[in-house]
């Protein structure tokens, strides 16, 4: 989720502007969450597609080694 479209319940301004302490705290928390892990930016559909590709590659390797 990106914070550029979120609206603060405290001040009714976009969270990305950081007008109140609640906005600034939420913006900092979201920025920290977005920076975690190398798969943090992938949506669930992309993760499933990556898993299918990896399983296909493993099946191909297993078939060739027999």
Confidence of residue 2 (pLDDT cuts 50, 70, 90): low
CB burial string 18-53: b at 16+ within 10 A, e below? beeeebeebbeebeeeeeeeeeeeeeeeeeeeeeee
The tens digit of pLDDT for each residue in 26-66 reads 888 887 776 666 666 678 898 899 999 999 999 999 999 87
Instruction: Outline where DSSP puts E strands in the chain.
Output: none
Q: Which residue has the higher pLDDT, 32 or 20?
A: 20
How far apart CA 46 and CA 53 sit, in angstroms, is: 11
Query: What is the CB neighbour count within 10 angstroms for residue 17?
Result: 13
Domain boundaries, the chain: 1-35, 39-66
| pTM for this prediction | 0.47
């Amino acid at each position: 989720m990106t914070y550029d479209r979120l609206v603060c319940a405290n001040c009714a301004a976009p969270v990305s502007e950081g007008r109140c302490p609640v906005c600034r705290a939420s913006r900092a928390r979201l920025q920290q969450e977005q920076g975690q892990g190398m798969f943090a930016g992938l949506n669930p559909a992309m993760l499933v597609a990556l898993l299918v590709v990896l399983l296909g590659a493993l099946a191909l390797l297993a078939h060739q080694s027999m």
